[in-house]
């Protein structure tokens, strides 16, 4: 016969109190765990904000959702010419389609900050000749910047170019597989403190070159062409200009958290 333990009323009371303590303890553990998760999430993502209006240093922000209106609040609205918008042309939501022969967006403003960062997402269409994604000068003898996509080889390459007030032309050519039917992010940084202009593709630093003098745009910013020639064929989405030089770590975070997130510190 098994030995049966007999519990007194006092024993039962003690067991009940112990169970209450365990229950309260487990509740506290759950609350503490939830608090830690919330705090961790806040610390991880509080440095990011949705790419709605950008930050205080954002000078231009185009979501390209059915228009080229500037979401930064600075009034740098684009003027469209034969641009087609739609979900099929965007990386995140809607985007802009450029036909390679006449599509362009003109931003009726010049950007003169000595430190600048340009960022956009692009996907090549049927680009068979060199096409400008961005251009703020009419030719090679004018001050400004331009970003050119050239498909003269099987993969294509990017050309980031500047001309300063010291009459210095600099070009940085980056070989990259562009004809892969995928979206790519290009970020172009002008750092007047270090006197370097640098190019990043898909979050990765590719190259930089030193320059002398300063860079001032000689014409209003053109998207998708230069001087009504050398048109871009493909799709663009989420384009912004900052009046400061983003760091490598900020650029990496932007690309990593790139579903419409933008780092603001």
Do 19 and 73 share a domain, yes or no? no
Do 23 and 95 share a domain, yes or no? no
Whole-angstrom distance, CA of residue 10 vs CA of residue 7:
8
| Closest by CA position to 133, among listed 153, 164, 156 | 156
Element (H, E) at 23: helix 9-45
Do 221 and 202 share a domain, yes or no? yes
Do 106 and 138 share a domain, yes or no? yes
- The HSE-up count of residue 62 (CA atoms within 13 Å, CB side) is 27
CATH of the domain at 173: 2.60.120.200
Do 4 and 60 share a domain, yes or no? no
Quote the number of domains for the chain.
Answer: 2
Do 246 and 216 share a domain, yes or no? yes
- For residue 15, the 8-state DSSP code is H
Strand partners, 104: 81
Do 103 and 154 share a domain, yes or no? yes
Q: Which domain holds residue 7?
A: 1-46
Do 84 and 116 share a domain, yes or no? yes
Element (H, E) at 144: strand 144-150
pLDDT in tens, the chain (265 residues): 455 555 566 656 666 676 777 677 777 777 776 655 544 444 444 343 445 556 788 999 999 999 999 999 999 999 999 999 999 999 988 999 999 999 999 998 888 888 999 999 999 888 878 889 998 887 777 788 888 887 665 455 677 777 777 766 777 777 677 778 899 999 999 999 999 989 999 999 988 888 888 888 888 899 999 888 889 999 999 999 999 999 999 998 888 876 544 444 4
Do 131 and 175 share a domain, yes or no? yes
Do 42 and 53 share a domain, yes or no? no
């Amino acid at each position: 016969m098994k030995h049966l333990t007999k519990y007194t009323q006092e024993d039962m009371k003690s067991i009940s109190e112990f169970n209450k303590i365990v229950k309260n303890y487990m509740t506290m553990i759950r609350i503490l765990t939830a608090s830690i998760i919330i705090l961790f999430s806040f610390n991880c993502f509080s440095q990011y904000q949705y790419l709605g209006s950008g930050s205080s240093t954002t000078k231009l922000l185009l979501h390209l959702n059915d228009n080229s209106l500037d979401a930064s609040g600075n009034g740098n609205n684009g003027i469209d010419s034969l641009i087609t918008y739609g979900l099929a042309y965007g990386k995140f939501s809607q985007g802009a389609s450029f036909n390679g022969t006449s599509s362009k967006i003109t931003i009726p403003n010049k950007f003169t900050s000595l430190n600048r960062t340009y960022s956009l997402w692009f996907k090549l269409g049927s680009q068979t000749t060199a096409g400008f994604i961005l251009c703020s000068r009419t030719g090679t003898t004018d001050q400004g910047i331009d970003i050119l996509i050239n498909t003269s080889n099987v993969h294509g390459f990017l050309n980031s170019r500047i001309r300063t007030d010291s009459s210095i032309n600099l070009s940085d050519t980056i070989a990259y597989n562009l004809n892969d039917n995928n979206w790519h992010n290009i970020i172009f940084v002008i750092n007047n403190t270090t006197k370097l202009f640098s190019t990043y593709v898909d979050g990765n630093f590719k190259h930089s070159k030193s320059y002398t003098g300063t860079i001032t745009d000689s014409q209003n910013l053109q998207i998708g062409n230069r001087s009504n020639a050398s048109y871009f064929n493909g799709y663009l989405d989420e384009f912004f200009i900052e009046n400061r030089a983003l760091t490598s770590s900020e650029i990496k975070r932007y690309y990593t958290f790139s579903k419409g997130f933008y780092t603001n510190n």
